[in-house]
A and B are shown apart, each in its own frame.
Chain A
Amino acid sequence: MIDRFRRNAALIALLALIAAQTAPVRAADTIKIGFSVSETGALAAPSVFDRQGYELAADEINAHGGLLGKKVELVHYDDQSTPATANALYQKLISDDKVDLILGPYSSQITQAVAPIADRAKLVMLSMDANPQAFDGSHPYVFQAIAQTPQYMAPMIEFAARHGVKTIALLYQNSPFPAALAGAIKEAAAGRGLKIVFEEAYPPATTDFGPLVLKAAATNPDLLIGGTFLADSEGIVRAAKAQNFHAKMYAFSVGPVEPEFSRALGPAAEAVFGNTLWFPTLSTKGNADFVKGFRAKFNRDPDYHAALSYAALKLLATAAQSAGSLDQEKIRGWLRSHTVDTVMGPFKLGPTGLQTGFSSYVIQWQKEKQVLVWPAKSATGSPVFPHPGW
């Protein structure tokens, strides 16, 4: 706790320093890269990982001679997890701070709020928005730098099908990302001949999952799958354990991937499956160095958000370096026409800015540790299946 306190105090000092530095006339020997971070509010936990990923990438770029011979400097402000604030901040970054490049904020909603600004300023924005509908070609300068929602749980369904799962109970939070996930889960399940025997959406504020799990249990599914975030995935597991529900497999989209999942649930987290877009042991390009560098700089383990943002800034720098200038049209053209190996795997853009190269992985909590269990070629251990009971 004290460590975190110190780190945050240091962070505030750092922010004050950055704020103080933005006042003088811009130095011509640096390249300014702007973005907003949800330092406070509901999205702060993943968003701060994003910022740290950007910071680590910037450090590495500067340590290797900078970008186009100049040092890069990150300029960022707190958007308080609010789309409207982020919108105002991106306008400020572009018109007051006169940043040379921009990076995306965290979350689909906030990305949607700032995308029109990137388009108007004709600045390429690599963004953390998994929703495929956001990349229908209506934002020519906004590119996806994350996996698409439908790909998130496809390996999970594949894993379930191969392990003899026939029936599924699907619970999902009634908000854009989980709802899109639920649609993709149904499609993937239908493709593998799995039957959805129960389906229900619940509002984000739900705290009692007892009745929902009671109903789901009555349909006797092999797999209980949740389109969730952290809090609701914990609520569903608690309710399932309290009612001694017996399914062969429990799986959640976001939740088990967070270290807090096991800390909050204790033994109940054991053998629960989750989903991730990245894992520290992956043999993707530069991954081992990324994990080492992140631990050294921030004194904690990186998560997939940090890996995504790290990859995004590295990509943007590679594109500018290859284009030989900060000309946004050249950077845009280069990104669209090249496949680039990153810590996330190969980055590849479709014609409308959809990213198609990254993969998704199945993890499972075993003895208070996350084990990557699927796909088999990347696995760090074998799965516990079926669920041994609570």
Chain B
Amino acid sequence: MAVTILTLVLTGVLWGGVYLLMASGLNLIYGVMKIVNLAHGDFIVVGGLLTLTLFELHVNPLAALPAAALMMFVVGALVQRGILERLVTAGPTGELRTLLATFGMSYVVSNVGLLLWGAQVQSVPFLEGSVNLFGIRLPENLLVCSAVAFAFAVAVHVWLTRTMSGKAVRATSQSAVGAAACGLGIRRIRVLTFGLGCAMAGAAGSLTITLIPFQNSSGGPLTVQAFTVIALGGLGNYVGAFLAAVILGVAEVSTSFFFGSNAAAAVVYILFILILVFRPQGLLGRAARV
């Protein structure tokens, strides 16, 4: 029984890593720009499908990851420069406009996916074995996905808090006017941030397609899942998202084992509602901070 429980907890932590991986880009963009990118899930799907195509050309998903990330960076930067930057975001309906724009974009991205890859559910066979750790079996691809996710989380956290460019991004998020007054190129910072957020979605897609089969229309549910993680953690808060992802992963895996899969699907949203009621700013959320 001890082995079973340990297996469940570790698997839960690892799945938490996968959720975190899928949520990181969304979190970065929201934290800095206060934009909920509703096309986030579709970027994940396209990153994954691109990895599938490269895999068919005998490119390992880990090697395909930078290519997917770079492509999504370019797409993201273009979207920010060409569309989002031009929207009037001031005033009470500002957030609504970016929501609508990214919602529309999600359709464009998923239907481009349909044209290029068709509609079938796709997945990539990669690292399908498991690591045996004193009788605890942990799937290899899950380990790799989580390791990359946690590395991303740490890297972004360090970047935002320790480097000059990261500080510039945070300054922009706290007050665009103030940052501009100090001589920061806020337009370039926004392009960089949105591009990076999308690149993280592409990278997440490269890895998760080895775990979770995708089809071109899978983007919507992935966006919702990612949004749940960052809302639980405190929108835009990196450490919070990390914590939320791990809690969700462990709660889901152990509920699934002890109370069945249907209960596991509910537990995520029960936690979500409890947080919304008792701690609406999220686990570690603070108003207007990154």
Contact = CB atoms under 8 A, between A and B. Distances in A.
Interface of A: 1, 4-5, 8-9, 40-45, 48, 81, 174, 200-203, 205-208, 210-212, 214-215, 229-231, 234-235, 238-239, 241-244, 258, 260, 263-268
Given A40-B119, A42-B217, A266 B114 contact: no
A206 B215 CA distance: 15
B242 interface: no
Interface stretch (B62-70, B147-155, B251-259): B251-259
Contacts, number: 131
Interface of B: 4, 7-8, 11, 15, 53, 111, 114-125, 128-130, 137-140, 142, 211-213, 215-217, 221, 252-254, 256-257, 260-262, 264-265
A49 to B, nearest CB: 10
Rank and list the top 7 A-B pairs by shortest CB-CB distance, nearest first. Answer: A266-B125, A44-B119, A202-B261, A264-B123, A242-B139, A211-B257, A211-B256
B213 A243 contact: no
Contacts of A44: 114, 118-119, 216-217
Contacts of A1: 53, 116-117
Contact of A40 (B111, B130, B138, B142): B111
B111 A264 contact: no
B217 A207 contact: no
Nearest to A207: B212
B137 A244 contact: yes
Given A207-B211, A244-B130, A264-B123, A212 B261 contact: yes
A373 to B, nearest CB: 23
Given A9-B115, A42-B217, A242-B137, A210 B123 contact: no
Contacts of A231: 121, 123, 212-213, 215
B129 A205 contact: no
Contact of A243 (B120, B121, B137): B137
A290 B217 CA distance: 31
A242 B265 contact: no
Contacts of B115: 5, 8-9
A42 B124 CA distance: 19
Contacts of B213: 230-231, 234-235, 264
A164 to B, nearest CB: 28
A242 B256 contact: no
Contacts of A244: 130, 137
Contacts of B212: 207, 231, 235
A243 B217 CA distance: 30
B121 A4 contact: no
A238 B140 CA distance: 11
Contacts of A264: 121-125, 213
Nearest to B8: A211
Nearest to B249: A208
A42 B215 CA distance: 7
A245 B38 CA distance: 39
B125 A258 contact: no
Nearest to A243: B137
Given A4-B117, A210-B11, A268 B137 contact: no
Contacts of B128: 238, 241-242, 265-268
Contacts of B4: 214
Given A207-B211, A268-B128, A214 B120 contact: no
The winner among B114, B120, B257 for most chain A CB atoms within 10 A is B120
A45 B119 contact: yes
B217 A208 contact: no
A45 B118 CA distance: 7
Contact of A174 (B111, B122, B139, B262): B262
Contacts of A207: 211-212
A241 B137 CA distance: 10
A125 B111 CA distance: 30
Contacts of A48: 119
Contacts of B137: 242-244
Contacts of B254: 211
B247 to A, nearest CB: 15
B130 A4 contact: no
The winner among A81, A205, A210, A235 for most chain B CB atoms within 10 A is A210
6 contacts: A40-B114, A48-B119, A208-B15, A215-B257, A242-B129, A263-B122
Contact of B139 (A203, A211, A238): A238
A40 B111 CA distance: 8
A328 B55 CA distance: 52
Contacts of B221: 205
Contacts of A241: 128-130
Contacts of B114: 8, 40, 44
A203 B265 contact: yes
B121 A208 contact: no
B11 A260 contact: no
A229 B120 CA distance: 12
A202 B15 contact: no
Given A40-B119, A238-B211, A268 B125 contact: yes
The winner among B4, B15, B118, B252 for most chain A CB atoms within 10 A is B118
A199 to B, nearest CB: 10
Given A40-B217, A231-B213, A265 B123 contact: yes
Contact of A203 (B15, B53, B261): B261
Contacts of B117: 1, 4
A260 B125 CA distance: 11
A180 to B, nearest CB: 17
A234 B260 CA distance: 20
Given A1-B53, A4-B116, A207-B211, 9 more contacts: A42-B119, A44-B217, A203-B262, A214-B257, A231-B123, A238-B211, A244-B130, A264-B125, A267-B125
